[in-house]
Amino acid sequence: MCLLKILTLFLLLRAGVKSAHPLQWLPCMFNDYIPQANNEGVRDIHLLQRSSILQFGQQGDNPVNPHGITFLVTQSKAHLRNFMMDTDADHVDCVIQRYNTGGIHVKWPGQKSHKYNSWFSITLTHTQGLFIISGILAHTCEAPLSEHDDVTNCPAIEDRQTLTTSAAVILKTLSPMVTSGLGHQKTLHCQFAVDHKAPNVSALWYQHSRGERRILLKHASRSGQTEGRGVELKNLASGDLSYTIPFTEVKHTGEYVCSVSVFPLSISLDISLQIQESPQVSLNVGPTLTLQEGEEMKLICEAAKYYPLDVHIVWYEKDPASSGQRVGAPVPKAMDNILLSSHKNNMDRTYSLLGFFYLKASLEKSGRQFTCSVSHISLRMPIKKSFILTVEEPSSWFFTLTVCSVIVILLSVLCFNLRYLILGEY
């Protein structure tokens, strides 16, 4: 696509043509289907990618690039350029290809009786994910196609040909990729337009998740019948087909499809909803831990209630005394004796995991800082929890115990002797 844009810009500069508005035209990739016969006389269909221009204007306008194929989009009630707002042309990828109605040829509303249509689908994708637009362009011609014709039997398009078209149906989303935590309200944006009044529109929302397709909403404008919920029906008249999830749960993760059909045309857009819940990190000890030399303890770091599954737990050991060194300060050492529990499945379909190790206290480890670092896709930076270890000599406790024992024994002996001395006087 980048090469296509560079070649198109080169041709425009060579022809001395400049665009006054970034959306006067767009370079597009035209996916054409070319029938060819093989050595056995059997017809094969080959995909041929051809450079083209999507140009906005009026019928009879000169093409901005006379050396290439031009799809001239004239204004209609479903005005394509209005759907693109003030987007810079350099931020839009454009793909056009022939649209197959499956051999169905009907008179399009508002079209003159002696005119017929060939159809082209168009997809406009913002390179930074701000929107995706899908539409169908109508190109009028004098003679109808055969009932058995398909996209491969359409008249060939010449390299310098200009095709005057208009947008018949347009579908747009401002939320092609949506990320949410648990318990939030999320709206999946979907907007449509049709080029004639009171169209017979069939709208559909469904979800793909874990290989299953679940229909969320079906609506037929002609009958007024609606199955499902999530769309404000009063907004459909203005082309707003946005779907709202009032309270996000793990089960809402998946691909959503917004679809609009106006016989015999149908277009759809895929919207991805990803649930990402950050882990809750905790240790089984406080900010400081005091142990006697030789004492052993299990230190646990828990990452709880996160989604999706992948989480990374690392324990680090560091000497805080080295933190004040400006030069040559040692990097915290990742511990290699860490054990991980099995993932725990919680009731809300989130996960929990334990990362732990067994610490045997030694005097040389006294004052060391131990840090648990938890990484997850929902976090920009890892969550870290630390504690400082203090190790005491057992001899200090033994000495205190010994002295206390001696004092108790001496006092007992003294009391015993005093008792006999007192009794002897009497």
Tell me: the pLDDT tens digits for 370-382? Answer: 999 999 999 999 9
User: Which residue's entry shows tokens 């990484």?
Assistant: 375
Q: What is the pLDDT of residue 18?
A: 40
10-33 residue pLDDT tens: 444 444 444 445 588 999 999 988
Please check whether residues 302 and 356 belong to one and the same domain. Answer: yes
Q: Of the candidates 242, 275, 308, which is a domain's last residue? A: 275
Long-range residue pairs from 8-17, CB within 8 A, at least 24 positions apart, any chain: 8/51, 8/53, 8/65, 8/68, 11/65, 11/67, 11/68, 12/64, 12/65, 15/65, 15/66, 15/67, 17/64, 17/65
Counted domains in the chain: 2
Determine, yes or no, domain membership for 329. Answer: yes
Q: What is the pLDDT of residue 241?
A: 96
Determine, yes or no, domain membership for 415. Answer: no
Upper half-sphere CA count for residue 301 (Cβ side, 13 Å): 26
361 has a pLDDT exceeding 50: yes
* CATH number of 64's domain: 2.60.40.10
244-280 residue pLDDT tens: 999 999 999 999 999 999 999 999 999 999 999 999 9
Q: Residue 385 — pLDDT band, cuts 50, 70, 90? A: very high
Q: What is the pLDDT of residue 398?
A: 59
Determine, yes or no, domain membership for 402. Answer: no
8 has a pLDDT exceeding 80: no
Q: Average pLDDT of 90-94? A: 92
Please check whether residues 243 and 379 belong to one and the same domain. Answer: no
Q: Of the candidates 241, 258, 275, which is a domain's last residue? A: 275
Please check whether residues 108 and 128 belong to one and the same domain. Answer: yes
Parallel, antiparallel, or unpaired for β 383-392 and 69-74? Answer: unpaired
Please check whether residues 123 and 188 belong to one and the same domain. Answer: yes
Please check whether residues 260 and 122 belong to one and the same domain. Answer: yes
Determine, yes or no, domain membership for 335. Answer: yes
Question: Which of these ranges, 11-25, 46-60, 323-337, 349-363, has the smallest mean pLDDT?
Answer: 11-25
Q: Of the candidates 256, 275, 294, which is a domain's last residue? A: 275
- At residue 135's C-alpha, the angle toward residues 129 and 137, to 5°, is 140
47 has a pLDDT exceeding 70: yes
Please check whether residues 57 and 113 belong to one and the same domain. Answer: yes
Please check whether residues 255 and 301 belong to one and the same domain. Answer: no
Please check whether residues 246 and 302 belong to one and the same domain. Answer: no
Determine, yes or no, domain membership for 412. Answer: no
Determine, yes or no, domain membership for 405. Answer: no
Please check whether residues 216 and 292 belong to one and the same domain. Answer: no
3 has a pLDDT exceeding 70: no
Between residues 401 and 349, which one has the greater pLDDT? 349
| Interior/surface letters 268-301, b for 16+ CB within 10 angstroms, e for the rest | ebebebebbbbbebebebeeebebebeeeeebbb
Q: What is the pLDDT of residue 20?
A: 43
pTM score, whole prediction: 0.79
Determine, yes or no, domain membership for 420. Answer: no
Please check whether residues 184 and 47 belong to one and the same domain. Answer: yes
Structural domain that includes position 241: 2-275
Please check whether residues 182 and 128 belong to one and the same domain. Answer: yes
Q: What is the pLDDT of residue 11?
A: 45
Q: What is the pLDDT of residue 395?
A: 62
Please check whether residues 209 and 335 belong to one and the same domain. Answer: no
Q: Average pLDDT of 58-72? A: 92
**Percent of the chain residues past pLDDT 70, beyond the cut:** 82
Question: Which of these ranges, 94-108, 155-169, 350-364, has the smallest mean pLDDT?
Answer: 94-108
Between residues 360 and 330, which one has the greater pLDDT? 360
Determine, yes or no, domain membership for 231. Answer: yes
